[in-house]
Structures are given as structure tokens and as C-alpha cells.
Structure 1
Amino acid sequence: MSPELEIFRRSPSDNPKCKTPVVFVHGAFTGAWCWNEHFLTWFADQGFETISFSLRGHGGSGGRELRSLASIDDYVEDLETVVDTLGQKPILIGHSMGGYIIQKYLEKHKATAAVLMASVPPEGLLASNTMMAMAQPDLYLQMFWLQAIGPHTLLRDRLGRAMLSPDIAEDEGMIYFGRLETESHRALMDMMGGNPVFLSQTDLPPMLAIGARNDEIIQSEVVNHTARRLGADCVLLDDIAHAMMLDAKWEKAATQIAEWLEKNVIEKQDSTSKKSAA
């Protein structure tokens, strides 16, 4: 049974553009707040019903005392709890670990569409971590210390440059960094191969894999691989870093996602409605 979850909702101010609600799934070390800064309201303004939530032990959700023991399957259960309140198949948008949680969710459940933002690939973190360790050993070491001691001031400079582009206001970026928290050791082990994804392209909804071309954490090669593995469309963005929903050019990522949803969800829903009315 899931602990009580922190959940946020936004509704369109005008007539809804899309019949399907959008559920945002955050990544490791964060909470629902990462969506609430920009994406939750922006997508509501585009005509989507939007929901963000904090996984157990994160943000304002319960279960903090047992966070280090939470598994990826526990996080999938949290997503199931939120989706069950909707009464229909959602659009799922997940960032980094959140993308991995969505993939695990799709092993047993259906969705209208899924967007994986700088997502952990189906095989887990081994390939991306290896590339990071070889190309950016200083960043690899600081990611280790982030998990060991949390968002310490000594880690802000290098980790900050990996998470956010240099042109974001330093004070704002540091506020975001200070809100990071340690992740579940068990969930991280699950993503290192302990709980791999088993999906067949024939059973999947329309999917988009979107990444940052120069992301040092989930590299563009990994995003391309995820797209090929899952039969997803693929978009790589320039001038944006790993935390795409918080970066200075977050709206660039949001617009790409909204345009993809327009083509792959809204237009299909409109076409179906017209055929039903005929």
C-alpha cells in the first residue's frame, strides 16, 4: 500500500484541448516541485489537465523514513495509485528515473502516450554511468557524493553545470540544487540492472524520447538507443542541460512535447470524434 502522496493538479482555464490528463513523473533526487515551477501550469494553459506527484519519501509525500528501501516497483505502485484516481488511460511524461518508472509501468498497464525526457534506458544506468566515468570522472564522483551526503555546497559548481545550462540565473539554479535530496539506494540498484525493463514495441503506445544533445548524465547516444529500443520518436535539443523542465530554455522542451502530443494524441482524438459523429 502506498503512503500518502503529495499530488498537485492544474486544470485548463478555457475549454480543454485534450481529453486525456497528463501525469508527470519526477526523477531521482527531486520531487513534484520540479514540474510545478513551469511545466504543470504551462501545459494546463495549453489545454491539458495536468497532475504531478512526489514519489514516496520525496517532497511532501509520506514514507520518508523508509525512502532508502523503496524499490522501482514501489515507485510504479505510486504511479498506479495516482492513475487510478483518473478513471482513464493517461499521457505519461517522465524525466530521468521517472522515464524508467513509466517504462516499468507499461509492462503491465496501458497509456494513451508516453514521453521520456532524458530517461534512464530500458537496460538501466550501466552504459550511461560508464560513459560518464570515462568522459567526466569528476562528475561521476560528485554524483556519488550527492547520494552519499546530499546537496552539499562543495558539489554545486560541477553538478550544477551538469544539471542546468550556464545561462540560468545562478541564484535560481542554486535554489533548485538546494532542494535535491538523496535517493533510495534500492531504487538506484534496480536501475543498475537489478530490475530491467521488458517491453515489446507492439504493445506500446505512441512514445517520444527527448533529450539534451550535450547532456552529461543521460547522453544523447543513450536517448537515441532508448528511442530505437522502444520504437519511439526521438528529439535532441541544443542549448539545454539534463534538468530540461527547470533549465533556462525549459519552454523549448515543453513546446516540442506539446507539438508532438498535438500530432500523436489530439489530432487522433479529434479524428475519432468526427468519425463517431458522422
Structure 2
Amino acid sequence: MIIEPGPSAGLFCGRLPADWRPPCGYTCLVPPWLYKDAPAEELRRRHPDPQLASLRLSQLVDHFAGIVGALPEKPVLIGHSYGGLLTQLLVQRGLAAAGVAIDSVPPQGVFTFKWSFYRATWGPLGFFTDVNKPFMMSLRQWQYAFVNGMPLDEQRAAYEQLTIPESKRISRDGLTRAARVDFSRPHVPLLLVAGAVDHIMPAALNRSNYRRYARYAGSVTDFKEFAGRNHFILGQPGWQEVADYVLSWLQRHALAPARAEATPELAAY
């Protein structure tokens, strides 16, 4: 199993397999993005990092494709936010045994009319700002985009622990052909998960993403919306509900390991 984090929140979903109480038998890898191979505090200290500012979606997809291709078998890919888009693009390349896209950035051409989406993504896209300086989310932006509805102390703690700069170029690449998915192409089982109160990647947007696949018969594509969940879905109290649902979905599609005796191992590239 490979877990692909999103862009602006470090490796908060990287703790998921280690804390996942039911022993599910997976070896879990959480490889970092290019230019993000350090703790959040160090990545903030490097800001503005010109290497990070130059990062493009095509580079990142190739980076993860290389990691996946070096494994002895095709993995289950789980991605959150931009990692959800990466999951869909790697599934498109035929590199996965299955894919799970959580609160996913949509492929090219999938949109929503939800105002919260445009308000929350305006900063990361960085229009009319210097593209050579990565975007660093403010606490106020974080509160709206990621952790809406949570107590202030939890919002602040998550911000200080996890928030990191991000390339504006890679955010904008999500609007280009680099993020194109051929929804009609047969694919391995794919689950799209949404948080009902997610501002930056609204449930309606994830549902639209799902429906683009669902138009075509022949491949398993499922959708699950969780009430009361924001974009910090894997960090909110009770995140185990989401993790357990994903595991049960994998089991339903005969994608869980045959042996489930060992506690999952967490590794990183």
C-alpha cells in the first residue's frame, strides 16, 4: 500500500497505517513529494525554496510512478487531496492494484459551482502573484480550507505541526492537460471518498468526479461521503471510521492481504 499525501499539510496522513488498530497486514509506504523530504518545520524554514517553486505535476507523477514501478507487485494507492489526483493518474497508467482518492483534487475538466472551492483554492493557485515563490497558507486560510468546524486549539495545533509551502505551478497544473484522465478507459477498482463539510474540495466536486467514471460500465468505481468531515478528514477525531471503511472496501473487492497477522509497517522513501 502506498499513501500519497496532499500538498500543503505535510505527512499527516502518513500516521494512518501505524495507528490503524485492526491489523490489516499491509506494508505501508509513505514516500514524500519531491523537495519535501524533511519535517514541516524544516520545509517552512527553507521557504521560499526555488526548487519547490519549480515543481510540476508531470515531474511528480513520474516520481511516484518510478517508486511504484520498483515494487515487486502493484500496490493499492491511497491519496489525499492532490494525492488523490496523483492516485487517479497512476491508476490511469495501469500501475495500481486499486486506488482510493480521498477529498481529491479533480482531474482536468471536473468543476463545481460551490463558492467555497473558489475561495479556498485562490491562494494556492496564486494568480497575480510571483510564481517563483511557493505559496504558504496562513492560519486563517488553513482554518477555512482544511479544519473548518474544529475547535480553535486543534486548528492551531494542526497548523503549527503540519502546514508547509507549496508550488503554485503544480497547483495550476491541475487545470491543464497534465491532469487529464480518460474516464472511459477500463481501470482497477477505484474508491472516491468525500467529506460532507470539506470547503476546498467539496463533496459535490468529488461526486462529480465519481460520476465522470460512472458513465462507463465495466470498471468498479465507488463513492462514499462522510458526514461532518472536513478536508482534514484523516486528522479529525474519529478518523478511524474512514480508515476502516477503506479497509472494508478493499476486502469486499478481494484486495486485502491474504495474511492479516502483522501490524502494518510504516516506511518512507
Into which bin does the TM-score normalised by the smaller protein fall? Answer: 0.7 to 0.9
- Checking the alignment, whether the CA contact within 8 Å between 2:125 and 2:172 is kept in structure 1 is no
Unaligned 5+ segments in structure 1 are 1-21, 271-278
Q: Which residue is 1:218 aligned to?
A: 201
1:109 alignment counterpart: 94
Give the stretch that moved more between structures: 56-65 or 96-105.
56-65
In structure 1, the residue matched to 2:72 is 87
Relative to structure 1, the CA distance from residue 107 to residue 73 in structure 2 (aligned partners, 3 Å threshold; closer, same or farther) is same
User: Do the aligned partners of 1:143 and 1:159 also contact (CA within 8 Å) in 2?
Assistant: no
Q: Which structure is higher in helix share? A: 1
Aligned to 1:28: 7
Deviation at residue 136 of structure 1 after TM alignment: 7.3
- 1:209 and 2:192 correspond: yes
Structure 2 length-normalised TM: 0.76
1:159 alignment partner in structure 2: 142
Please list, as runs of the form range in 1=range in 2, the aligned pairs for 1:117-128 lying within 5 A after superposition: 117-123=102-108, 127-128=111-112
Distance 1:144-1:229 versus aligned 2 partners, 3 A rule: closer
| Uncovered stretches (5+) of structure 2, i.e. residues with no partner | 127-132, 215-220, 260-269
Could you tell me which of 254, 264, 273 is aligned with 2:243?
A: 254
Please tell me whether residue 177 in structure 1 is matched to residue 159 in structure 2. yes
1:74-112, Cα deviation, whole Å (9 max, x unpaired)? 111221232133211110001111111122223323311
Task: Decide whether aligned partners of structure 1 residues 110 and 137 sit closer, same or farther in structure 2, where only a CA change above 3 A counts.
Answer: closer
Aligned partner of 1:73: which letter?
S
Fraction of identical pairs, as percent? 18
Which is bigger in relative contact order (C-alpha 8 A, separation at least 6)? 2
> What root-mean-square deviation, in Å, do the aligned CA atoms of Structure 1 and Structure 2 show?
3.1
CA contact (8 A) 1:165 1:247 kept: no
Question: Which amino acid letter does the alignment assign opposite residue 81 of structure 1?
Answer: G
Using the TM superposition, name which of 33-42 and 79-88 deviates more.
Answer: 33-42
- SS of 1:254's partner is helix
How far off is 1:242 after superposition? 0.8
Sort the Cα spacing of 1:87 and 1:143 in 2 relative to 1 into closer, same or farther, 3 A: same
1:150 maps to what in 2? 136
Amino acid at match of 2:31: F
